Structure 1
Amino acid sequence: MSVRELVVLGTASQAPTRTRNHNGYFLRWDGDGLLFDPGEGTQRQLLLAGVPSSAITHICLTHFHGDHCLGLPGVIQRMSLDGVAHPVHAHYPASGQRYFERLRHATVFHDRTRLHPGPIERAGVVAEGAFGRLEARGLDHPVDAYGYRLVEPDGVRMRPELLERFGLTGADIGRLRREGSLARADGGTVMLAEVSRPRPGQRFAFVMDTRLCDAVYELADGVDMLVIESTFLRRDAALARDYGHLTSAQAGEVARDCGVRRLVLTHFSQRYRDAREFAAEAAEFFDGDIVLAEDLATIPLPPRP
């Protein structure tokens, strides 16, 4: 059964709070599991969320500030302890290679992981698989940072009433889907378009520490779910700009302009007592589905239209 959902592991920014762990987000996408920005404490948060280390197939780091990567040693060592046998691909800014190596071998342990480093040199496709393609775009932050975009290829949805009309069953349906046409017993041909309708692929974007820039819009364009930092409220826009962050108002504007279906706000500064202000501010600009991320929450991708 296809399951596509975001498991939120942590939602704080630079400093954790009593209710918000450092960053951590696990995207369950059918048979793949993408772990984004494992901050300190991610190993325990995975346990509390019921996500085994064996579910991880890709680790994606946006940048090497501690609240986005200090949980990496524990995650790697847990995968080794659990005997995760499949390859796990790690994506991160190439300029931070020395930090990746330090985190990768932070302590002595019996390393049995099949971890495949994938340093990112430039924007573009960084991985392809059953999920489609994983893209990266360079963000505007004081250190090198990348946002990620997962794109599933467009497909088709078979229409049972039309399959029945043409007398198509079993293996013939699979052959028609693969080849695009099928010869009929009466000498005619059935085309795939005659018994199906287009099914747009789903899209997901992950945008962390950045000022507003073109790459934010490129990542968010037409996605079903946008997970985006909203570290500051609009009244502190100058601080956001100085430190290389977004406000919740800017997140709402991006979601509106890019046709996002579900907006997930996260990475909240500990200076604010009531996180509901972030959602209220974003809603001034975006009238769609807004989710205020909470630790250990599970957020499904919106179903296809």
Structure 2
Amino acid sequence: MRLHFLGVRGSTPAPGAEFTRWGGHTSCVAVLPDGYAAPPLVLDAGTGIRNLAPVPFRGVIALSHLHWDHVQGLPFSRAVDHPEASVELIVPGAQPLALLTRAFSPPHFPIEPGGLRGAVSVTSSGGSHEYDGFELIQAEVTHKGGITVGTRVECDGVAVVYLPDHAPQLGSAAAEELCRGADLIVHDGQFRPEEQALADDYGHATVTDALAFAERCGARGLLLTHHAPGRTDDQLDAVAKEWPDVRFAREGDVVTV
């Protein structure tokens, strides 16, 4: 399984010369099982989804939650908003289309989700979803401001869990079960340990929170994403150097699991 990181920032995009090496787009990861030339699965639709290729996209987009930094790129992706696109959009919540429409409709946005070109279906997250070549297992996790789910992707004999917005320090038994024995956890690592109060207030994790969580779950690997939008390239270099045994996601990276 290959993970193509199209966006690794949290909260807001980070434009400017100080953010070019690590990348400024918000959360989006394209997943390519072995033997696939094009990704059949995308995790989140932050501004990084503008870089999704090839065009058009045919597959599944699983949203972790509906905060702006995880959905804002959806109508601006040429691969998704295309007459020949075929998209299943998995959205947290019992009424997924209605929830998504609250964010994408006038006066907040010019069109509703139905205004996207191509064939777009909207389904609810949770439980297991089996597809040709991979399986998704989802569970609700601790994060503030609405339902948030973690997604476990199983294919090619490996398991990757995507938890870009998660506060394990607040107690998350469902998330621990979701991550049990995973080969890799892609986890929220937005804050440094001395910023614990901010992490708790916003429902996010510090680097040390994520490390402790991965150890409790018996995961074989940890990769941190959702970097703070004000954290410059030089500052992220310093964070990565401080924890040399932890991988940090960089926009444009392709990680093989």
TM-score past 0.5 threshold: yes
- The amino acid of 1:26's aligned partner reads A
Aligned to 1:193: none
Question: Aligned in 2, Cα 1:129/1:42: closer, same or farther, shift over 3 Å?
Answer: closer
Equivalent position of 1:295 in the other structure: 251
Q: TM-score normalized by structure 1?
A: 0.69
What pairs up with 1:1-305 in 2 under 5 angstroms? 4-17=1-14, 18=16, 19=19, 20-30=24-34, 31=36, 32-40=39-47, 42-43=49-50, 45-46=51-52, 51-75=53-77, 78-81=79-82, 83-84=84-85, 87-94=86-93, 97-101=97-101, 106-107=109-110, 112-120=117-125, 123-125=126-128, 127-142=129-144, 143-152=146-155, 201-212=157-168, 213-273=172-232, 274-279=235-240, 290-301=246-257
Secondary structure of 1:149's match? strand
271-280 vs 203-212, which moves further: 271-280
**1:164-194 deviation line (CA, Å, top 9, x unaligned):** xxxxxxxxxxxxxxxxxxxxxxxxxxxxxxx
Matched residue count: 235
- Give, in angstroms, the shift of residue 40 of structure 1: 2.6
Q: Supply the distance in 2 between the matched residues of 1:237 and 1:110 (Cα, whole angstroms).
A: 41
Q: Distance in 1 between matches of 2:150 and 2:120?
A: 21
What SS does the aligned partner of 1:245 have? Answer: coil
| 1:173-229, Cα deviation, whole Å (9 max, x unpaired) | xxxxxxxxxxxxxxxxxxxxxxxxxxxx21111002121112332222211221111
| 8 Å Cα contact 1:139-1:146 kept in structure 2 | yes
Task: Give the number of the structure whose alpha-carbon radius of gyration is greater.
Answer: 1
- C-alpha displacement of 1:98: 2.7
* One-letter code aligned to 1:79: V
Q: 1:280 to 1:98 in 2, by over 3 A?
A: farther
Mapped to 1, the partners of 2:123 and 2:155 lie a distance apart of: 21
Q: Give secondary structure in 2 for the equivalent of 1:38.
A: coil
SS in 2 for 1:242: helix
Distance in 2, Cα, partners of 1:52 & 1:103: 26
| Kept in 1: contact 2:84–2:119 (CA 8 A) | no
Normalising by structure 2, what TM-score? 0.80
Q: Which has the higher contact order (CA 8 A, sep 6+)?
A: 2
- Percent identity between matched residues is 26
When the two chains are superposed, the root-mean-square deviation of aligned CA atoms in Å is 2.5
Residues 8, 298 of structure 1: 8 Å contact kept = yes
Q: Which moved more, 1:253-262 or 1:66-75?
A: 253-262
* Preserved contact between residue 158 and residue 183 of structure 2 (Cα < 8 Å): yes
Name stretches of at least 5 consecutive residues in structure 2 with no aligned partner: none
